[in-house]
């Protein structure tokens, strides 16, 4: 197992899950893995929001992990894998932890219980029960606009003391809360932003990195933003950020990950832009806009 308290920083890719004819597209998945293993990323997140994890059957999720790990083993670089798991039933989540305990992953990324809107005491008890039970470490996922209830800093700081909880994907949508958490967190508790459009801002505030769908595109530029800031080159980092800032908005014009999948399909990295209902492929209007931006960036690169 990777020492995530040392390695959970930098740029992490929440890998899209390619589909074709309603099935997991293993050919495209292997192509994606090979490609991004040559890029400046620090790890993969599989089966989470960007990977349409809520639509994956257990067998598909297991196969997704196996294919990515197998493709890395066949190459020259091995990256840590975080597995996205979420649910509103603590007991069932413990069962899922048991079912995935021997999978070749390094940690779980687990969002707050959705829909049921538990109290902070309930959220605390939920995550403590999972962390006590899990074979692999946990990273918390605070995303109140999807789960209906956010995790307060008071709760996060208590959870951060648990030996099996290593960090947070921060989509709390409050810069003030994020800054306070970064100030008060215990040593070794990692905070990575999951808000693509706020990547530069979060890194400037002291976040350890980002888990960014947008980094499927212009991966090297997103990595350079982090690298320049680590070197203290704030102006250079901001200049690199301006190269991709608009991209982070464009890729979320319609529900994610459809725009990113369309871009990857047009770029030849996946064989189909297919998403699973209730997600739908991008509109013709957005497709035209994405095509123009792809063409523009290709001309700049040339």
In this predicted structure, what is the pLDDT of residue 173?
78
Q: Domain spans of the chain?
A: 4-234
50 labelled ligand-binding: yes
Looking at residue 299, what is its pLDDT?
87
CATH superfamily ID and name for 4-234: Aldolase class I (3.20.20.70)
pLDDT of the chain, 302 residues: tens digit per residue = 446 767 799 999 999 999 999 999 999 999 999 999 999 999 999 999 999 999 999 999 999 999 999 999 998 899 999 999 999 999 999 999 999 999 999 999 999 999 999 999 999 999 999 999 999 999 999 999 888 899 999 999 999 999 999 999 999 879 999 999 999 999 999 999 999 999 999 999 999 999 999 999 999 999 999 999 999 999 999 999 999 999 999 999 999 999 999 999 999 999 999 999 999 999 999 999 999 999 999 888 87
Residue 91 burial (CB count, 10 A):
8
Of residues 94, 114, 115, 141, which has the active-site annotation?
A: 141
Catalytic site includes residue 141:
yes
Predicted TM-score (pTM) of the model is 0.96
Nearest to 46 by CA among 88, 100, 9: 100
The pLDDT of residue 3 is 64
State the catalytic residue, choosing from 108, 169, 199, 261.
Answer: 169
User: Three-class SS of residue 48?
Assistant: coil
Residue 243, classified by CB atoms within 10 Å of its CB into exposed (0-12), middle (13-18) or buried (19+), is middle
> Strand, coil or helix: what is 252?
coil
Angle, helix 284-301 to helix 258-266, in steps of 10 degrees = 50
211 is known to lie in a ligand binding site:
yes
Evaluate whether 287 touches 262 at the Cβ level (below 8 Å). yes
pLDDT given at position 39: 97
């Amino acid at each position: 197992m990777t020492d995530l308290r040392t390695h959970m920083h930098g740029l992490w890719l929440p890998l899209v899950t390619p589909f074709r004819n309603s099935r997991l597209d293993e050919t495209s998945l292997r192509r994606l893995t090979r490609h991004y293993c040559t890029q400046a990323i620090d790890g993969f997140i599989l089966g989470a929001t960007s990977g349409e994890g809520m639509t994956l059957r257990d067998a598909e999720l297991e196969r997704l992990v196996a294919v990515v790990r197998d493709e890395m083993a066949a190459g020259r670089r091995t990256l840590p894998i975080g597995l996205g798991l979420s649910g509103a039933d603590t007991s069932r989540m413990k069962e899922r932890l048991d079912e995935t305990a021997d999978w070749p992953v390094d940690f779980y990324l687990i969002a707050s219980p959705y829909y049921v809107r538990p109290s902070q005491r309930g959220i605390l008890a939920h995550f403590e029960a999972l962390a006590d039970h899990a074979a692999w470490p946990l990273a918390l996922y605070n995303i109140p606009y999807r789960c209906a209830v956010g995790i307060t800093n008071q709760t996060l700081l208590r959870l951060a003391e648990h030996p099996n909880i290593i960090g947070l994907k921060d989509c709390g949508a409050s810069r003030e809360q994020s800054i306070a958490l970064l100030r008060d967190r215990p040593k070794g508790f990692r905070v990575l932003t999951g808000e693509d459009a706020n990547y530069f801002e979060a890194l400037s505030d002291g976040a350890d990195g980002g888990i960014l769908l947008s980094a499927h595109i212009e991966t090297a530029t997103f990595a350079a933003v982090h690298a320049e800031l680590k070197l203290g080159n704030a102006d250079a980092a901001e200049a690199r950020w301006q190269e991709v800032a608009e991209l982070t908005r464009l890729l979320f014009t319609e529900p994610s990950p459809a725009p990113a999948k369309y871009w990857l399909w047009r770029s030849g990295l996946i064989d189909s832009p297919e998403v699973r209902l209730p997600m739908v492929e991008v509109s013709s209007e957005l497709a035209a806009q994405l095509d123009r931006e792809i063409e523009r960036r290709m001309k700049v690169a040339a």
